Structure 1
């Protein structure tokens, strides 16, 4: 499976496109595109690589990871897939933006498909497994591609850091527990692609992350 990272919006968010080289099926994860040029960049990448968008996945539903959900859903005819536990965050999207001094833009895309821990999504013949990592938000998810050896950790786990837990629904103890139980148990060579910042590896975080 191939992966491409985009840096979208003013925070910025890592938005990812995952795709299977043979079937050309792809998943867009955390569509953070805020500006029209960012929407164009994403659409051009999809077109230039002759990809078919099969999934729109969200690691969680904080506003900065959701700016482009409506654009992707409408342009490619796919439903937003996310955890039901984060659904309440959609109702407060304008307030989330206001708290950071960011003008609310676009539409709020509702969840069309609820994701549970252990759910499997396929691109070609390869699987992407949903892993629950609550704590940064109640419904935070990671997406693990065991065959390709990487995991998208959202805002749960960063390079030598972890996600904030001072937002509504955040829980520091729960986050630490879910990282230890569901992420650090992955093979140490697993590449971690987070929601912000550079990639890392599970083994590095297991041994060197001062928060764990």
Structure 2
């Protein structure tokens, strides 16, 4: 059975630095008909479970620890009987939502995973948050970027735990080195490609 990427959208809120915003988050599930992994845990356990179906979920890979991406992670972990994985550089952000409740396993730059017969590698891309992590699936020609890279450019900075200079370096050095045809599946909004965003950046912030 061939690996594929499944997609849905859930709606809720994002809160940081005393402000709250309405947001729509993408839900991404990578796998085949038998097993899968879930990226992030936004807003609705039911929406994620519907996308997973009766497949075995072997992990919940958290791209970063902003509350709209991790708020439902413990509940989803219990529902799917799947471990939560997070880059520990986002520990302080995680604590804002979950206090001393731990996630299950750490993710580090270069960690490799195999799911549904395809390989995937974790790419550390700090900037939007200290522990932001993307997941590259070369055989499917895609990368899941969380809130690091969107259609239109880098993810938001200017709030606590973020850095514009750092996110630009992460995108330039870690993502723009991927093949230009690589499809970028984002945490919010439409997908794009590495090539399209590289061209856009050359006319904007990339020097």
Q: Normalising TM by the smaller chain, what interval? A: 0.7 to 0.9
Gap runs ≥5 in structure 1:
95-106
Q: What secondary structure does 2:71 align onto? A: coil
Gap runs ≥5 in structure 2:
13-22
Match of 2:30 in 1: 18
Match of 1:76 in 2: 80
Deviations 1:136-167 (A, max 9, x none): 00000000000000000111100012111122
Q: Map 1:117-196 onto structure 2 (within 5 A).
A: 117-196=109-188
Match of 1:53 in 2: 57
4+ residue runs over 3 A deviation: none
Deviation at 1:90, TM superposition (A): 1.7
Normalized against structure 1, the TM-score is what? 0.85
1:91 to 79, 89, 95: 95
- How many matched pairs? 192
Deviations 1:72-93 (A, max 9, x none): 2101222210100001112212
- Structure ranking higher in strand proportion: 2
1:44 aligns with 2:36: no
CA distance in 2, matches of 1:123, 1:8: 24
Deviation at 1:108, TM superposition (A): 8.1
CA distance in 1, matches of 2:127, 2:70: 18
C-alpha contact 2:136 2:144 (8 A) present in aligned 1: yes
CA RMSD of aligned residues (A): 1.7
> CA distance change for structure 1 residues 180 and 90 in 2, over 3 Å: closer, same or farther?
same
